[in-house]
Structure 1
């Protein structure tokens, strides 16, 4: 038994699919990815926070302590030969950081991770682990606490990491 689909049915199905795609674009994708929310539904659903441009959903703990930077701060971190260092920032929940780091060409093992505020169990969550001479990106922290990098230098010479950061954070610095 053959089924044939009429042109009218095909046009009706295509139009419905196009309408649903347009609604999804306007109410979900644009608010979540680009903080463009013409209908207001994205903000009501909490999707604009995902774009990283919306206000944080809870107030900051201390306006004086947390820096909100629109320009990149440049930090030089020296990783001694054969050793590792950790450089951290205190960030409230859902805060966003944009970053770039680069070495002189010497690859370093790294672990970008966060530790929840007040946790005493030693728990941490890794966001990226690899070996590289550079990295660029952004992240939104899932919980309040200290967030940053652990770099390990396996070479015989110290390596300077040039770290560029901007976002909502308080510098903790080198963690001993």
Structure 2
């Protein structure tokens, strides 16, 4: 008997075919229903896998609110604070950038018009600037709390563009509402 004989091709071929059949079964039973919502065998629905990956977001989302932009500067004395927020409809988008001369304490958060919905906070910290896109999780006011934690006066500049109705400024004094054309 010769031990240097190459292995038979038949077991390798059978193992390859078996692994391909198993991969195809997993693809049609689980992957396609869970990831793409395509369920040709009906097993994805029976197993509760349809749309498991979550809803797909369209690249285009029409907005019912008018597109607006706002650029505003605030002068903050030492330890002075303010809130500045925009009223947005659910799923409205706001592109923002803010910059201060020194680090400020901030909290980006939202408050729903429906008081039964809890306030949501998205980002908190102490830094000099930030930018990004905020998508409104519900209809309400969405924006920032800023506080100057330094010992000197500072200027903070906020630039936004997006889909909002009006803005509100809340300080120690009365709340101010600003309308946009």
TM-score range, shorter chain: 0.5 to 0.7
Offset from partner CA, 1:31-83 (integer Å, 9 cap, x none): xxxxxxxxxxx9xx96336x6x4125xxx5xxxxx5314xx642222222211
Tell whether 2:19 aligns with 1:10.
Answer: yes
Which stretches of structure 1, 4 residues or longer, exceed 3 Å deviation after superposition?
A: 12-28
State the partner residue of 1:68: 67
**C-alpha spacing 1:27/1:99, structure 2 compared with 1 (3 Å):** farther
State the partner residue of 2:62: 55
Unpaired runs of at least 5, structure 2 = 1-11, 39-50, 172-181
Offset from partner CA, 1:60-107 (integer Å, 9 cap, x none): 5xxxxx5314xx642222222211111111111111111111112x11
Unpaired runs of at least 5, structure 1 = 29-41, 61-65
**C-alpha spacing 1:9/1:87, structure 2 compared with 1 (3 Å):** same
From 111, 118, 139, the counterpart of 1:115: 111
State the partner residue of 1:35: none
**C-alpha spacing 1:27/1:159, structure 2 compared with 1 (3 Å):** farther
SS of the aligned residue for 1:9 comes to helix
Q: How many residues align?
A: 144
TM-score (norm 2): 0.63
Tell whether 2:74 aligns with 1:77.
Answer: yes
Determine if contact 1:79/1:151 at 8 Å carries over to the other structure: no
Q: CA RMSD in A?
A: 3.4
**C-alpha spacing 1:152/1:9, structure 2 compared with 1 (3 Å):** same
**C-alpha spacing 1:163/1:12, structure 2 compared with 1 (3 Å):** farther
SS of the aligned residue for 2:17 comes to helix
* Higher Rg: 2
TM-score (norm 1): 0.65
Q: Which moved more, 1:166-175 or 1:140-149?
A: 166-175
Task: Give the deviation of 1:150 after TM superposition.
Answer: 0.3
**C-alpha spacing 1:122/1:7, structure 2 compared with 1 (3 Å):** closer
User: Hey, what's the Cα distance between the residues in 2 that align with 1:97 and 1:12?
Assistant: 48
